[in-house]
Structure 1
Amino acid sequence: MNHLWTGVFPAITTQLRKDQSLDLEATQRHAEVLIRSGVSGMIVCGSLGENQSLAPEEKRSVVGAIVQQSAGRVPVLSGVAECSTETARKYVQDCERLGAAGFMVMPAMVYKADPRETLAYYRAVAAATSLPWMLYNNPIGYTVDVTPEMMRELSDVPNLIAMKESSGNTRRITEMRIVNGDRFALFTGVDDLILESSILGIDGWVAGSGIAFPQENQRLWEHTRAGRWDEARALLRWFHPLLKLDTHIKFVQYIKLMVQECGLGSEWVREPHLTLEGSERERVLAIIREGIGSRPRN
């Protein structure tokens, strides 16, 4: 099946200044580097983009800035991470007017919805926009688990076209295919499971750590598409410690520090996140600098 969205859709950081104000120009510069690396799309204001820490007008400013920077070269999706159905509906309508190409929709924040409430929420958000969207399943981070059977119940929602599967259980990829066939494009959202997920059959990758190493990230994806498994394994062995930085509760701080070390942005984060310090900072820096120092030459 030919899906509308396939390939690498990196989730980009929202660049900030030291005083925690938005740095839209820096965010645009990083987006440009990613576009030129060959990505197929881009996701702003996701978890890595610190969506929940941004004011409503800030989120809309980020979406508008990256839509402008992309200039139609790749689709720009926005994360949707609101606490109520109504604010989510309003957000997708505003982003549609700003030129977003679609959405990555998380469950309603804070409240742990049951399956009936979860399905009702997603249907209501979907009905508020004509744009396509990706359902983001991350029960580890957001407690709500959308199972393959629940996705089958949502299969009649025409603009739901993809799923970002971040349960950490690669069995879900096969189970999704058994239950839903090729109805949805499947994206992995767990960086260090990219190779296993590719073997099982995915259509895309919402990359995190790779935003600091976009050329290598794209090359790894292309190896999996071409079935060059020896090359993919070799590249993954270098990349793996860096990819694992995306699987920690402080992944925002870790990846922003990595972006800074690679000269693509700064480490400043929005409170309640705090920049790293002490032994933790030194440990993460050691991983990053080892990766930079041993970076493959081709």
Structure 2
Amino acid sequence: MSVNFLGVMPAITTKFNADLSIDHDFVREHVQWLVQHGGTAIIPCGSLGEGATLSFDEKIALIKTCVAAVDVPVIPGIAATSTADAVQLAQAAHAAGARGLMVLPPYLYVSDWREMKAHMSAVISATPLPCILYNNPVAYKTDFLPEQIAELATEHVNLAAVKESSTDVRRISWIRALLGDRLAIGVGVDDVLVEGVAAGAQFWIAGLVNAFPAESVRLYDLARAGRHDEAFALYRWFLPLLRMDTVPKFVQLIKLVQAKVGMGSEIVRAPRLLLSGAERATAEAEIATALATLPTLQNLAGTE
């Protein structure tokens, strides 16, 4: 089963009802809206989707909702506190219709390469689905070095891509130097998209796309086309929002942006709480400025 690892792949937020149950009706509407605006895959159950607060059954239900709603690949995040649970989740996601998996290191436990390799290998081997290795040492404290990624790619034919979220764009060139075209490389941090594409990244697993899909797709397209001046003009407008993807309260911030554009709500599950005080005021001011200077869709839709 193949996935074309190109384009903008939204890592979706999970909208909750007032009672903190998942709002599946909104999820359906949201993912369809994202695909209509150019999203090439849907990534549920990730960090931005508050995957750590979702039960096993909730994750599978969410995957099924996404699969039924869109024709593009659904590639859920696979993370758990134990290897056995991650393997079970991977297999259940496959049965639910996922066309790929985004594999994370285990929650809570940070160790050496021998143990992390065993964990990742078990999850990647659990299904025949193409897998994205998610490297985010900033958030998860486990850093998969390019040589280690190459080792996994040599041993697992279905390791198809890497989501590089180290924030060090040099990693993209390093992985390419070791592996050539063996793995597709994706940008996983919103505010290095243009730099990452210039280094050779082929796809973007994006966060602010949840609120601004047309702008996100246009930015990616301009960067891929090498239209640097146009890309930077859009990037300059977008950067204050894109930087919201790189801080501990990125979930609350991105959900606040969604609420301000009328595509979602701020509700989060504890231990997260709604933004308040000066932190909220700063975010609201940045969002207001972005909305007041929003580029027109006509300008975003120029020809290649």
TM-score range, shorter chain: over 0.9
Render the CA deviation track for 1:240-285: whole Å, top value 9, x for unaligned: 0010010110000000010111111111001111111122111111
Partner of 1:120: 118
**Structure 1 Cα separation of the partners of residues 121 and 79 of structure 2:** 15
2:283 is aligned to 284
Q: Return the TM-score normalized by structure 2.
A: 0.95
| Deviation, structure 1 residue 113 | 2.0
* 2:255 is the counterpart of 1:256: yes
Partner-residue secondary structure (3-state), 1:154? helix
Q: Secondary structure at the match of 1:206?
A: strand
Structure 1 residue 227 displacement after superposition: 1.2
Contact 2:103-2:124 within 8 A present in 1 as well = no
In the aligned structure 2, how far is the partner of 1:287 from the partner of 1:56? 36
Q: Distance in 1 between matches of 2:48 and 2:101?
A: 15
In the TM superposition, what is the alpha-carbon distance from 1:3 to its structure 2 partner? 7.4
Q: AA paired with 2:152?
A: L
Q: Normalising to structure 1: TM-score of the pair?
A: 0.97
- Partner SS, residue 104 of structure 1: strand
The residue number in structure 2 matching 1:60 is: 60
Q: Deviations over 1:139-165 (max 9, x none)?
A: 010010001100111122011000000
- Cα distance in 2 between the residues matched to 1:53 and 1:283: 27
Counterpart for residue 142 of structure 1:
140
Q: Which residue is 2:302 aligned to? A: none
What residue number does 1:31 align with? 31
- Aligned match for 1:130, one of 115, 122, 128: 128
Equivalent in the alignment of 1:17? 17
8 Å CA contact 2:67, 2:74 repeated in 1: yes
Tell me the alpha carbon deviations over residues 35-59 of structure 1, each in whole angstroms, 9 at most, x when there is no partner.
1001111100100000001111111
Counterpart of 2:270 in structure 1 is 271
CA RMSD of aligned residues (A): 1.1
Per-residue Cα deviation, 1:192-214 (whole angstroms, up to 9, x for no partner) = 10111111111100000122111
Q: Which moved more, 1:139-148 or 1:270-279?
A: 270-279
Identity of aligned residues (%): 44
1:4 matched to which residue of 2? Answer: 4
Question: Aligned partners of 1:253, 1:60: CA distance in 2, in Å?
Answer: 23
Structure 2 letter corresponding to 1:104: M
Aligned to 2:97: 99
Contact residue 77 and residue 104 of structure 1 kept, 8 A = yes
Verify the 8 A CA contact 1:148 1:180 in the aligned structure 2: no
Q: In structure 2, the residue corresponding to 1:9 is in which secondary structure?
A: strand
Please tell me whether the aligned partners of residues 210 and 243 of structure 1 are also in contact (alpha carbons under 8 angstroms). no
- Give, in whole Å, the separation in 2 of the partners of 1:270 and 1:20: 7
- CA-CA distance at 1:75 after TM superposition: 0.4
AA matched with 2:81: C
2:41 corresponds to:
41
Question: 2:241: which partner in 1?
Answer: 242
* Matched residue, 1:78: 76
Matches of 2:293 and 2:49, distance apart in 1: 28
Q: CA deviation at 1:4?
A: 2.9
Amino acid at match of 1:47: S
Say whether 1:180 aligns with 2:179.
Answer: yes
Q: How many residues align?
A: 295
The separation in 2 between residues aligned to 1:139 and 1:105, in whole angstroms, is 14
Structure 1 residue 219 corresponds to structure 2 residue 221: no
